[in-house]
Structures are given as C-alpha cells and as structure tokens.
Amino acid sequence: MATKNAEAYEAVSKKYEWGFATEVEQDFAPKGLSEDTVRYISAKKNEPEWMLDRRLKAFRLWQTLEAPDWAKLNVPPIDYQDAYYYAEPKAKATIASLDELDPEIRRTYEKLGIPIEEQKVLAGVEGARKVAVDAVFDSVSVATTFRKELEEAGVIFRSISEAIREYPDLVKKWLGKVVPQRDNYFATLNSAVFSDGTFVYIPEGVRCPMELSTYFRINAENTGQFERTLIVADKGAYVSYLEGCTAPMRDENQLHAAVVELVALDDAEIKYSTVQNWYPGDENGKGGIYNFVTKRALCQGRNSKVSWTQVETGSAITWKYPSCVLAGDGSVGEFYSVAVTNNRQQADTGTKMIHLGRNTRSTIVSKGISAGRSDNTYRGLVRVAPTAEGVRNFTQCDSLLLGDQCGAHTVPYIEVKNPSAQIEHEATTSKISEDQLFYAMSRGLDQEAAVALIVNGFAREVLQQLPMEFAVEAQKLLGISLEGSVG
C-alpha cells in the first residue's frame, strides 16, 4: 500500500497548478465600498447618467439587505470595506490586435492555456470551428477577437461597458429584467459595483457563426470581481456561450459576485457552458475564492430553450444556482452540472426551474463528487404554476463520495400547483467500489488514473453536453481536482 500511496501523496502535496500572479500596473479604486466607489467606477467607465442612477439605487438598497445564510455553507464574515472594487490593467485603452497586448497579460493567458494563438490559426482554416474570446483580465475587457466576423452576422458581442455606451436602448431594456436589483444580496451588490462583463445580442433568425467565450480571471490581490453578463437571443436565434475561469494563488479570500442574465425570445436557443476552476484554497482551507453567483435565464418566447452546463471544480465556497424561468409556452430548460469538491471546499449549487408556461419541460442532471473534508450540496427547486399545463420535469441527482471525511447533501424542493404536471425526482449516493478500482488497476492503470476514469464515467452524462473545446479541459480538470483524494 505504501508504494501505491507514494504517488497519491505526491499529488496531494502538489500546489495549485494555475497559481501565479502577473505583475501588471493597475489602476485601483480606493479601497472600501461607498457611494464614492460606485461613482468612481461609473466615471471610469464613462457611463451615462441613467446607469449611474441605477448603480446608486442598487447600492442604497444593498445597504439595507442582509447576507443570506440558508445555504449549507460556512461563510466567514466578509469585510466589504477591506477590498478593492475596481482594478484596471494599465494598458492601452483599445487594442487593434493581440500583438499589441501587454506581454505580461499575454504570458498569463499562455500559462492559463487559453488557446488564443491556436484559435487565430484555426480561424484561417476553412470550415474549422471558431471561438470568439472576450478575455476579461480583472475588470476590463482587453481583447475582443473575431468582432468583425460577428458584426457581419449582425451579432453584437461587446463588453458590457461598451454596450452601455453603444447600445443603451438594448441594455436599458434587458439589464436587470431577469435578475432585478433587489433579487438577492449579492446580485444587488453586483448591480451597484459591477465592473465589466459581456453583452451579447443575437438578432432575429441568426445562428451565431461561432462559439462565444469569455475568460474570467481574478488577478489583483484583494479585488472582488463583479462581472455582469447579459445575453439576448432574439426570435429564432441560436448562440453557444462558453465561460471559463482560473485564478492565481492568493492567500486572502477573494469575493466574486457575478450576475448572468439570459433572455431567449420565440424559438431562440441559448447554450451556456461554464468550466469554473478558481483557486479553491490550500489543503487546510486557507485562501480561495468565494464564488457567489446569480445566474438566471428567462425563456420568454414560445418554444425557446436555455441549457446550462457547468463543471465546478474550483472556489473555496460556491453559491450558485443557474435557473430557468420558463414563461413561454413549450419552452425548455436544462441544467447539467458536475460539482467537485476536495480538501476544505464547500459547494452549495443547483438550479431552479420555474414553470409558468404551458407544456414547458425541464431536465436536471446533477453529479456531485465530494472528496477530502469537503461538503457538496445540491439544492434545487422545481415549481409549477397553476396555469402551467402539461409540464414535464425530470431530475436526477447523483452523489459520489471519496473518503469518509466528506459530505454529500441533496436538498430538492418540489412545488406543484397543476395536476397535469409530471414531476420525477431521483437521487443516489454511492462511492467508488473496491471492485471497480481493482478491475481498472488490474488492467494496468495506476490508482489516480483509475479514479479519474471512474469519476469521468460517473460524470459522463454532463460532460457530453459540453462543447468540444471544453469537454477535454473539463475531463482533465476532474482528474486534477481529485488528485490525492483516494489512497
């Protein structure tokens, strides 16, 4: 056993692979949070008056709210005054091509493995799949590629601050419509101090010619990152959006409170995929990102569809419930999730499917994997309104426990007010059996590889939903996240 474990121990003592900090000159807002901070951010972004008013309104509201504590999470008190709310890399304001990018930033991207270079090459190849990357480095979008090709298709793909200036009517119409300012504590905070993010508008009947992607990355010490994403798919439009993130190793906990809003009109479809690999803290639970995110989709149109796929391997604490409000008749909501927790990580994640329209359908597949001394909770809500005839929901929550020091929890809420609904919920909890491990190892796999293989099999249903670019990365991530957890 000792020799077999040697490798495992080595893996356990391994440090966060993506842990590094890039030294780039930054422009900071003064530390702390006040109306002045809000005004500073708004001014920095050259925002119109109406946007500042919205921010101030949200900030005043936020001051009256209390942080939620219903989740099965142990969140140390957060000092909101002890953080920077705005950090901008001191680079040129606009960049024509990637070559003009700050070399430090570029090196960071390379270390992260963002395949921008590769994609640029790919872009020249006829018929190759293309990915447009709007890379968010701390708080400002520094590079947007493929903008031209997207514009030809009529797709608007901008940082949210640009969109506020360039498309104020669209932004005014939809921003805060799905996640209103007073939605919850963290969403309100985000509404007040969001620094940057992405705006996507797909016009009627357009199928977005490439996968859109934003790479989030928290870099500056003590900066919360408050991203705001708004995606609107007009009638008959289709878009697949990829979101992925890693953050460098820092000792102090960092707060990330993003808001993502999706709107799908008649016959539109949005596919939103996330691979989240932020720094989870070390093996003793020191450091790590707090990921308190509000993600919600409004399927407003008839036969619209929103599909959330997430692979959550990072963050010290995750509080995240990507949801679908199925208002349009015949609309479809999907949620596929793999959440992995190791060491001292805590995750409380799941989804809400609010069925309002007739013949709306939803599918929830959640795979929770707990290892080390972590806690992993699935928390979900399926609600059927009295007017929603013919609703179908299928929910499956599976938990896999690695070791006897971790916890797996399932807290599903089902609220049904219409008898024609068919709601099914299934859940199982299991562990990796000795037999499975023995079999895989008898075929020549070492223990790590055997565990990774079994875990990937467990999560396969979800990983299949990811676009190609992410599926490979996600599989690798699962293996890395669980290194040293068995043995």
Partner 1 sequence: MTQLLDLPSNRDEAWRWADLGGIAAAAALAPVAAPDAEFLDLPGAKLLFVDGVLDEARSDLGPVTLGPVTLGAVDAGDHPLGRRASHGWTLRLAADAAADPVQVVHVATGRENHVAAAIELADDAAVQVVETYVGAGWSNRLARITLGKAARLMRSVRLLQAAGFTSLREEATLGEGASLVTTVLGAGDAGTRIDGAVTLAGEGGYAEFGGALLTRAEQRQECAVRVRHAAPNGQSHQLWRAVAADRSVASLAAAVEVARHAQKTDGEQSLRGLLLQRSATVNLKPELEIFADDVKCAHGATVGELDARALFYMQSRGIPPARAQALLTRAFVADALDRIGDERVREAFVADADAWLERAL
- Interface contacts to partner 1, rule CB under 8 A: 70, 72, 384, 386, 399, 401-429, 431
User: C-alpha distances in angstroms, 364 versus 241, 324, 351, 353, 379?
Assistant: 19, 11, 8, 9, 11
Nearest distance, CB of residue 68 and partner 1, angstroms: 10
DSSP calls for 238-307: EEEEEEEEE----SS-EEE--EEEEEE-TT-EEEEEEEEE-----TTS-S-EEEEEEEEEEE-STT-EEE
Nearest distance, CB of residue 324 and partner 1, angstroms: 19
Beta-ladder partners of 320: 293, 349
Between 35 and 424, name the residue whose CB sits nearer to partner 1: 424
Nearest distance, CB of residue 438 and partner 1, angstroms: 16
d(CA 188, CA 182): 6
Between 254 and 377, name the residue whose CB sits nearer to partner 1: 377
Beta-ladder partners of 297: 262, 324
Between 41 and 408, name the residue whose CB sits nearer to partner 1: 408
Give just the sign of the alpha carbon dihedral 232, 266, 306, 207. negative
Residues contacting 188, CB < 8 A, separation 6+: 58, 61, 62, 65, 181, 182
Structure tokens at 435: 């037999």
Nearest distance, CB of residue 409 and partner 1, angstroms: 5
Could you count the other beta carbons within 10 Å of the beta carbon of residue 353?
Answer: 25
Between 34 and 428, name the residue whose CB sits nearer to partner 1: 428
d(CA 299, CA 301): 6
Nearest distance, CB of residue 379 and partner 1, angstroms: 9
Nearest distance, CB of residue 348 and partner 1, angstroms: 12
Classify each residue of 56-71 as buried b or exposed e, where b means 16 or more C-beta atoms within 10 Å of its C-beta: eebbebbeeeeeeeeb
Length of the chain: 487
Between 261 and 375, name the residue whose CB sits nearer to partner 1: 375
d(CA 97, CA 76): 43
Between 386 and 457, name the residue whose CB sits nearer to partner 1: 386
Between 329 and 469, name the residue whose CB sits nearer to partner 1: 329
Nearest distance, CB of residue 404 and partner 1, angstroms: 5
Gap between the terminal Cα atoms of the chain: 8
Nearest distance, CB of residue 419 and partner 1, angstroms: 3
Nearest distance, CB of residue 351 and partner 1, angstroms: 15
Nearest distance, CB of residue 401 and partner 1, angstroms: 4
Between 252 and 415, name the residue whose CB sits nearer to partner 1: 415
DSSP calls for 206-217: -B-SSEEEEEEE
Between 375 and 469, name the residue whose CB sits nearer to partner 1: 375
d(CA 217, CA 282): 18
CB 364 within 8 A of CB 393: yes
For residue 369, what is the enclosing H or E element?
A: strand 361-370
Between 89 and 357, name the residue whose CB sits nearer to partner 1: 357
DSSP state, residue 84: B
Between 264 and 421, name the residue whose CB sits nearer to partner 1: 421
Nearest distance, CB of residue 416 and partner 1, angstroms: 4
